[in-house]
Structure 1
Amino acid sequence: MSFWSKVCLFLIIWLRGRLLCIWFGLVTCTIIIYLRNNVGYTTEKSVLNEHSPTEISILKSNDSFKKTLQIYQTSKKCNDAMLAADPLRSTIYMIGRSSVFLGDYIDFNVILYNGYDKPKNTGGDHLRARLYNDLLGAYTPATIFDHNNGTYTVTVQALWIGRAQLEVEVLYTKETIITAIRLRRTWDFSNILAIFSYKNYTDKTTCGPDNETVKGYSKESKLCNFSYWNNSQQWFCGRPKYPLSCNHWRAITRNWENFTRGMNTCEQQLNKRDRRTHIQSNITVEILPNAIDSANRTTFEETSISCSNYNITKLWFKEKPTGYYYKNKWILLHCKGLRSFNKECFRNKTLLFWGDSTLYQWFVYLKNKFLAVSEATCTHGQGWHDYQRCNFNKYNMTLSFLGHNIPVCGFKRKNLYNFFKSISFEKVIESESENNDGLLLVLHLYAHLQQYSFKHFAAHILEIKTSLKRIFKTKTNIKVYIKLPHAYRRLEEPIWKIRRNDFIGFIFTHIMRNIFKGILDRITVLDHMDSTIAKRNLDIHPSEEIVREMVLQLMSYTCTDD
């Protein structure tokens, strides 16, 4: 029996005999339990204990995930940076002729050498490759096979007529990936702080998803429990000093000064190679028209199946790149997508985005598109953190955005306590009417969780899955989409290969694929890793040109091209 349950029982026994007193005792107990659950003092167990044994096995280790990470998790710190793969010393050569036909597959061999000019005999380095022609606005990513002996096979399809240049990078050495994963497994959230203020009183305390870790930093047995407002992740902060209380939470701050404190000299040296990634080559491919093609096409198209009719479960298990750019428009290969903006796509629909500032870009793009052709009634907020909603009368369409929950970048509000109570996508969806053609929910988690232990990302996804299963029972006409991580490089940020390593996006995708088992056929995957690799996207916030193609992909799975 918990401490508060004992207090309640004691009060009822002590006050027994008078109905009025019993009533008083029950009311008092109710208030105590409410304060415990909602205002925030807690001694609860950590997040993993909230899940069933089956789900814990997914969180801690599932077979596929272990296989993906095994080479990195079992490796030791590097001791000699010269033993790592050196792109400047490595070589590429083409298998076969330099002229091919439209639709052909082209293979290249890559041999990695270390800093001593010796060929590597182990795998695990992360290569990226693409064919491109800037004049044509044509870009396609390659698939890469690791032979685990220092050699790699790069395979790419010839998808347009004309010339194409090959680019291959050793974006992350094996040693860099090992470092990035190790630091995330041991990171304790110690640089995330809650700021409490009231009148002239101010205090800062450490926060995190694991109550035992927070207790260790705060030296308090009782904490502020903000889990009830954080929705998809438990969240605790140290209790501020009297007269401040958990209700006086006003801001979140964070920095990453100590994130790389565990790096040794070898790891630091490798991460100074932040722009030394390209393997030098002058390989150009000439792509010729296919002699048996009577249509005289200039680009390759494999299917006529509409994306709106495609088996969406297959999207979770792609075997080759999803598409390519031609004239700076993204062309899907597995299904026929929309090539231009279709305003009728969202008529009589309610579209809700829940995510970060990169998904907010989609909201802004669509908002501006529809504001140009329709009057609207909009509620405005302070950027992506706040709930925003627009009703477009001409199309009977509602467009909404909710910022995702903690952890997020630092910001402040007059009352954060109330702010996080309003960010539940499940509550917003429940409040929506069934009187329209459908509800569309687009979810995205990535950048703000990218530097944390994978188990905490998995905990988020587990809670999201639980919410979705409840939603599916009551909202039969809802369509759910997951925007997967995209590629980017924060070149202006020190040690970006560790702190902003977008290889983590592949791991996050793997976690989601495993946790969402059982409802994969209810979730449409919006995969933009291929398109952002093909374009060699650098900014965490892609250009409007790339955002346009991302939104068109969402529309392709939602509507038919009339």
Structure 2
Amino acid sequence: MARPAGRRPRGRPRTSKDIVLQGDNPVINIKPRNEIRPQTKCHPGLHTSVPAGFYLQDHWTSLVCDGKSFPSAELVSGCLKNKQILMMGDSTLRQWFEYLEKQVPTLKRLNLFTSRQSGPFEVVDLQSNTRIIWRAHGVPIRTSKTPWADLHYIAREVEDLAGGPHTVVVFTLWAHFTTYPLASYIHRLAVIHRAVASLLRRSPATLVVIKSANTGYKDVYGSDWLSWQLDQVLKTMFRDLPVVLIDVWQMTSCHYSPDNIHPTPVVIQNEVDLFLSFVCPEWKHLVK
């Protein structure tokens, strides 16, 4: 005997796909491109809206500020000219470092004989007077065999910086704290907050950029749920300071690429492009 249409097989549990949600027919209004993109230049202290942007043909359009694309090595190199960039965090920020290294052939890596996972790594470009350092944050961290002396705490590094208009500080802190009490994470952020606030008082022209957590963490050590909780604490802790927050949580959650804690190259490119938009808000002088 045939089963009536619309009936589930006996014993099959009800899932979200079996539920019909009632609602009105949506109305989609398509606006001109110039009415969607914000005209505000990218600068520290901007509020991150929800949504913070959207993807169209693999290009992220920011709704926070006037983000730009840097598709060529010349544009990226021009933006990084005379910049000293210190990146500190986990492997999701190391992806930014590796992208810039690959994108700009004139950036040459120095052999520091350090761990391939936790660094530190350094690239320099003598033509544009650019120096970029990436290093893993201090413990807790899960990595390969690494000299203890190479694991520096973010706050200590920030405290040792003179800062200035040619200095850019970038950090992220979340993935390696998912197996620790929230109080430990809050204490670490409070120490970093104090160091960043001190840096901005003595050198207000210093650009401080915070990369948020991203989605795709499905592992025995953590999950998106735990990452999201830490991310909310991070955003709350630094909302009183004139810093830049790159909300990659939104940028990774709404892309069609497979779920992965390490996003695909196209997502990384959009993240770095948004970062460079804050480094070079006056981008027009880069275009020849």
Normalised-by-shorter TM-score class: 0.7 to 0.9
Q: Which residue of 2 aligns with 1:322?
A: 52
1:364 pairs with 2:84: no
For 1:489 and 1:356, the matched residues in 2 are separated by 13
SS at match of 1:455: helix
One-letter amino acid matched to 2:108: A
Report the more deviating stretch, 543-552 or 453-462: 453-462
Which of 249, 255, 264 aligns to 1:543? It is 264
Which of 243, 247, 253 aligns to 1:533? It is 253
- Seen in structure 2, the aligned counterparts of structure 1 residues 440 and 298 have a Cα distance that, compared at 3 Å, is closer
For 1:397 and 1:410, the matched residues in 2 are separated by 28
Q: TM-score, normalised by structure 2?
A: 0.81
Task: Tell me the alpha carbon deviations over residues 200-246 of structure 1, each in whole angstroms, 9 at most, x when there is no partner.
Answer: xxxxxxxxxxxxxxxxxxxxxxxxxxxxxxxxxxxxxxxxxxxxxxx
SS at match of 2:259: coil
In the TM superposition, 1:303-318 aligns within 5 A as 303-308=38-43, 312-315=45-48, 318=49
**Bigger fraction of residues in strand:** 1
- Seen in structure 2, the aligned counterparts of structure 1 residues 410 and 337 have a Cα distance that, compared at 3 Å, is closer
Tell me, yes or no, if the aligned pair for 1:350 and 1:398 is still in contact at 8 Å.
yes
SS at match of 2:198: helix
Q: Which residue of 2 aligns with 1:464?
A: 192
Q: Which residue of 2 aligns with 1:479?
A: 207
What is the CA-CA distance between 1:472 and the residue it aligns to?
2.5
1:412 pairs with 2:140: no
- Seen in structure 2, the aligned counterparts of structure 1 residues 430 and 377 have a Cα distance that, compared at 3 Å, is farther
Q: Which residue of 2 aligns with 1:235?
A: none
Which of 327, 331, 334 aligns to 2:64? It is 334
Q: Which residue of 1 aligns with 2:18?
A: 89
For 1:305 and 1:419, the matched residues in 2 are separated by 40
What is the CA-CA distance between 1:455 and the residue it aligns to?
1.2
For 1:407 and 1:331, the matched residues in 2 are separated by 35
For 2:133 and 2:173, the matched residues in 1 are separated by 17
What root-mean-square deviation, in Å, do the aligned CA atoms of Structure 1 and Structure 2 show?
2.7
- Seen in structure 2, the aligned counterparts of structure 1 residues 433 and 446 have a Cα distance that, compared at 3 Å, is closer
1:505 pairs with 2:214: no
Tell me, yes or no, if the aligned pair for 1:377 and 1:392 is still in contact at 8 Å.
no
One-letter amino acid matched to 1:354: M
Tell me, yes or no, if the aligned pair for 1:426 and 1:471 is still in contact at 8 Å.
no
Q: Which residue of 2 aligns with 1:145?
A: none
For 1:386 and 1:393, the matched residues in 2 are separated by 22
- Seen in structure 2, the aligned counterparts of structure 1 residues 503 and 482 have a Cα distance that, compared at 3 Å, is same
SS at match of 2:230: helix
One-letter amino acid matched to 1:403: A
One-letter amino acid matched to 1:387: P
Q: Which residue of 1 aligns with 2:278?
A: 557
For 1:384 and 1:102, the matched residues in 2 are separated by 45
- Seen in structure 2, the aligned counterparts of structure 1 residues 85 and 507 have a Cα distance that, compared at 3 Å, is farther
What is the CA-CA distance between 1:474 and the residue it aligns to?
3.4
One-letter amino acid matched to 2:213: P
Q: Which residue of 2 aligns with 1:390?
A: 123
1:438 pairs with 2:169: no
Q: TM-score, normalised by structure 1?
A: 0.44
SS at match of 1:338: coil
Task: Tell me the alpha carbon deviations over residues 189-210 of structure 1, each in whole angstroms, 9 at most, x when there is no partner.
Answer: xxxxxxxxxxxxxxxxxxxxxx
Q: Which residue of 2 aligns with 1:119?
A: none
Tell me, yes or no, if the aligned pair for 2:110 and 2:123 is still in contact at 8 Å.
yes
- Seen in structure 2, the aligned counterparts of structure 1 residues 89 and 507 have a Cα distance that, compared at 3 Å, is same
For 1:334 and 1:377, the matched residues in 2 are separated by 33
1:447 pairs with 2:149: no
What is the CA-CA distance between 1:396 and the residue it aligns to?
0.6
One-letter amino acid matched to 1:404: H
Tell me, yes or no, if the aligned pair for 2:46 and 2:64 is still in contact at 8 Å.
no
Tell me, yes or no, if the aligned pair for 1:481 and 1:524 is still in contact at 8 Å.
yes
One-letter amino acid matched to 1:542: P
Tell me, yes or no, if the aligned pair for 1:347 and 1:397 is still in contact at 8 Å.
yes
Tell me, yes or no, if the aligned pair for 1:102 and 1:299 is still in contact at 8 Å.
no
For 1:403 and 1:355, the matched residues in 2 are separated by 5
Larger Rg: 1
SS at match of 1:96: coil
For 1:429 and 1:463, the matched residues in 2 are separated by 11
Tell me, yes or no, if the aligned pair for 1:439 and 1:479 is still in contact at 8 Å.
yes
Tell me, yes or no, if the aligned pair for 2:212 and 2:248 is still in contact at 8 Å.
yes
For 1:503 and 1:85, the matched residues in 2 are separated by 24
- Seen in structure 2, the aligned counterparts of structure 1 residues 503 and 85 have a Cα distance that, compared at 3 Å, is farther
- Seen in structure 2, the aligned counterparts of structure 1 residues 450 and 396 have a Cα distance that, compared at 3 Å, is same
Q: Which residue of 2 aligns with 1:376?
A: 108
SS at match of 2:16: coil
One-letter amino acid matched to 1:366: L
Which of 501, 505, 515 aligns to 2:237? It is 515
Tell me, yes or no, if the aligned pair for 1:384 and 1:402 is still in contact at 8 Å.
no
Q: Which residue of 1 aligns with 2:135?
A: 402
Number of paired residues? 266
For 1:438 and 1:411, the matched residues in 2 are separated by 33
One-letter amino acid matched to 2:196: L
SS at match of 2:262: coil
One-letter amino acid matched to 2:188: H
Which of 16, 26, 30 aligns to 1:102? It is 30
Task: Tell me the alpha carbon deviations over residues 422-446 of structure 1, each in whole angstroms, 9 at most, x when there is no partner.
Answer: x144554565566x74211111011
Which of 82, 86, 90 aligns to 1:348? It is 82
